[in-house]
Amino acid sequence: MFQNTKCECGHQNPVGTVLCESCGKPLVENLLTDEGTLEMRYDGVARRSQKANPQVIDRIWNFFSSVKIAVYLIAITLVGASLGTIFQQESTLINMSGYSEFRDFYKEKYGTLGVIYHALGLSRTYESWWFVGLLVMIGTSLVVCSLDRVLPLYRALTKQQIRKHLQFITRQQVVYNGALQGDKDVWLTEFAKQMKRKRYRVWQEDGGLLAEKNRFSRWGPYINHIGLIIFLLAVLGRGIPAWHMDQYLSLYEGETRQIPDTNYYVKNDKFTVEYYKDDELASNQKGTKVVKLYETKARLYECTDFCDDPIRKPVLTEVEKHDIHVNSALSYKGMSLYQNSFQERVRFISVHPSLMDATTGKALGSFDLLMDDPAESYEVGPYTLTLNDYYPDFSLDDQSRPMTKTREPNNPAFVFRIKGPDIQAKGDVYIYFPMPSEKSKYYEKILNESFKQRGDNTGRFTIKVENPIVDGKMNNIKYSEYTTYLNIRVDKAMPYIWVGAAISMIGLIMGFYWQHRRIWLRIDEDKLSLGAHTNKNSFGLRADVAWALGRTGIEVPPKSLDNRRNLS
């Protein structure tokens, strides 16, 4: 398309210019003959994407600079994101892994639709290449689109000519045409004064006037887009492994565990849970357990010595202490420990049994017995107890041999060999069940009987907890009632996320709660032509114009200024 880019006012415009950069006269052929209001976006200046002979790079640039494409991208992302909510996402199934396990889950739970859903990869929508790809494309589009427009717009707004072409003025969205009585200059000065009272900035130049207000709000969308770009980059940055950690750790009371892949250890000192009392609950909740608060008293340790030594115990130094509950995490150097959930599960921690003389019933001494990782031997009075065998979850196999079902101390049994004064040289062997249940006590009895018959022991000793209950409370026995689940997180992208969001918000507020308003006016002989433009809220602009005209002796209803309506 041939286009004359030199305007009659003498200004040479770049290719693609719609309205002369200087005087505002429409340059495009069909705009000149057309009657409607002018397209005022970017004041009609040429954008980079409107180059005459596009090369490959230009074509890519043009693709991403189109708002139409951006709308498509956003719309596709919108549809894609909503598809992901039809069924549960794989990422919410923390205990599963592997393709086939997931496939079976979707088949079991959702039937054929589930199979299709999983096969299409919709069960991992938000990690899928196409979804991430869409986000990347939106990001690219944001950068290109903003660069494409912001510079030309900046140029157009910083070098505005005051006296505009008549066509430019009379084809704005808000227009007033009329004759002017009396002294032109007096009127013009008065009008300028009124505009200033409405906080417009006013320029005058040979019978022309420009009043402008809130230009800064034009930068709002671009600032918003910059914020979005930072936000998107930060989101993508979370993919960098070193920036991100997300682990779950279960701890029973008293347990200390290393946070995998770090030098830190956490200890659960105590876990408490509080339920609402019945009279605090609504009537349809009465009798149910509604949690009020749950909390892990936690300590964080840093390992300072023998950290990777397989033989020696690591040396731990406490660095932080916090009562972790939902909405209140323990934070230390960018790492945060959150309360995730808990399980009510009684778990044995330790007992403090005594070695007794079976005949006199006199205690010979006592010792501490841990369920996890018990010591090899114990010195009790003059005797030495060596641990021969340990079955944390005691049971008998099908040939009635002792075995352990799991590694959890659900029904622990300890086999000790006792050596010391007046005992046969090979020692006396006893089995000890610390769990105070009938079944374990029964096992303990018959097994010790059979050892005695085999001559492995003499029946001189018993092992048991003295005064297991004092004042209605367990004594000499330690157990944990709850296991707490903590979520351990490192997210180095967070500051960028917040900065991006904040910038974006500032841009939105600038762009939406202020509007850029401009009023152009020129007087030819005694004919007054006024045109005004705003990027939004033309209602407010019309009110401003009508107000200023009214103050200067021209009464017009604001509505009559609406050019779009007058044309149609």
Partner 1 sequence: MNWWLDFSSNAFIVAFYLYCASFISYAIAVAGKRWSNREPEAHTARWGKIGFAGAVLGWLAHLTFFFTRWYGGGHIPTSNMYEFMTFLGMAIMFAFIVVHLIYRNMLLGAFALPLVIILIAYASVFPSEVQPLIPALNNYWLKIHVTTAATGEAFFAVGFAAALMQLIRVVDFTRTDKAGKRAQFWTEFSLVVIIVLIGFLAAVFTFRGAGYESSFRQEKVTIDDNGIENSEVKEVKYSLPPIVAPYNSDTISFQPFLGIDKPLFESPSWLNGVNAGRKLNTIIWSVISGFILYGLLRLIARKPLAAVIHPHLTDIDPEDLEEISYRAIAIGFPIFTLGALIFAMIWAQIAWSRFWGWDPKEVWALVTFLFYSVYLHLRLSRGWQGTRSAWLAVIGFLVVMFTLVGVNLVIAGLHSYAGV
Site residues for ligand HEM, 531-560, by CB under 6 A, read 535
**Stretch in the footprint of partner 1 (CB under 8 A) among 180-188, 273-281, 472-480, 550-558:** 273-281
Which residue in 65, 10, 71, 75 sits closest to 42, CA to CA? 65
In terms of CB distance, is 142 or 356 closer to ligand HEM?
142
CB of 387 to partner 1, least distance (A): 34
Which residues from 147-166 bind ligand HEM, rule CB under 6 A? 149
Q: Which amino acid is at 238?
A: R
In the complex, least distance from residue 509 CB atom to ligand HEM, rounded to whole angstroms: 11
Q: Give the alpha-carbon dihedral of 494, 499, 505, 508, to 10 degrees.
A: -120
Using CB under 6 A, which of 19, 134, 138, 549 touches ligand HEM? 138
Q: If binding is defined by CB under 6 A, does position 224 make contact with ligand HEM?
A: yes
Q: Which amino acid does the sequence have at 18?
A: V
Choose the binding region for ligand HEM from 140-148, 277-285, 365-373, 553-561 (rule: CB under 6 A): 140-148
Contact code string over 319-358 relative to partner 1, x by CB under 8 A: ------xxxxx------x-x-x------------------
Task: State the Cα torsion 8-11-16-20 to the nearest 10°.
Answer: -60
Secondary structure element (H or E) that encloses residue 193, with its range: helix 184-197
Q: Which does 149 bind (CB under 5 to 8 A by kind): ligand HEM, partner 1, none?
A: ligand HEM
Contact yes or no for 105/117 (Cβ under 8 A): no
Binding mask 158-177 vs partner 1 (x if CB under 8 A, - otherwise)? Answer: --------------------
Smallest gap from residue 233 Cβ to ligand HEM (A): 14
For residue 414, with 0-12 CB atoms within 10 Å meaning exposed, 13-18 middle and 19 or more buried, which class applies? buried
Q: What does the block give as tokens for 24?
A: 């505002």
145 contact, one of partner 1, ligand HEM, none, CB 5-8 Å limit per kind: ligand HEM
- Side by side, the strands of the sheet bearing 201-205 are 174-179, 527-534, 517-524, 208-213, 201-205
The residues near 441 (Cβ < 8 Å, ≥ 6 apart) are 433
**By CB under 8 A, how many residues form the interface with partner 1?**
72
Which lies closer to partner 1 via its Cβ, residue 423 or residue 494? 494
Q: Among residues 149 and 163, whose Cβ is nearest to ligand HEM?
A: 149
Which residues, 90 to 119, sit near partner 1 by CB under 8 A? 91-96, 101, 104-105, 108-111, 113
Residue nearest to ligand HEM (CB): 145
Binding mask 256-295 for ligand HEM (x = CB under 6 A): ----------------------------------------
Separation of alpha carbons 407 and 409, rounded Å: 6
For residue 565, CA distances in Å to 41, 516, 549 come to 20, 21, 20
Does residue number 526 form part of the binding site for partner 1 (CB under 8 A)? no
Q: Does 247 bind partner 1 (CB under 8 A)?
A: no
Residues numbered 28-67 forming contacts with ligand HEM, rule: CB under 6 A: 67
Residues of this chain, 71-90, that bind ligand HEM according to CB under 6 A: 74
Show the 3-state SS of 163-190. CCCHHHHHCCCEEEEEECCCCHHHHHHH
Complex with ligand HEM: residue 164 or 225, whichever CB lies closer: 225
Q: Is 134 in the site for ligand HEM (CB under 6 A)?
A: no
Q: How far is the CB of 218 from partner 1 (least distance, A)?
A: 13
Rounded to whole angstroms, how far apart are CA atoms 288 and 166?
78
Nearer to partner 1, 58 or 104 (CB): 104
Q: Which of residues 351-390 bind partner 1 (CB under 8 A)?
A: none
Beta strands in 72-198 (DSSP E): 174-179
Count of CB atoms situated within 10 Å of the CB of 548:
24
Note whether 159 and 151 are within 8 A (CB): no
Instruction: Spell out the long-range contacts of 540-548 with Cβ–Cβ below 8 A and sequence spacing 24 or more.
Output: 540/515, 541/174, 541/515, 541/517, 542/174, 544/198, 544/200, 544/517, 544/519, 545/174, 545/176, 545/519, 547/194, 547/198, 548/191, 548/194, 548/195, 548/198
CA dihedral 193, 194, 197, 198 (to 10 degrees): -130
Q: Which of residues 498-517 bind ligand HEM (CB under 6 A)?
A: 508, 511
Site residues for ligand HEM per CB under 6 A: 67, 70, 74, 138, 141-142, 145, 149, 221, 224-225, 228, 508, 511, 535
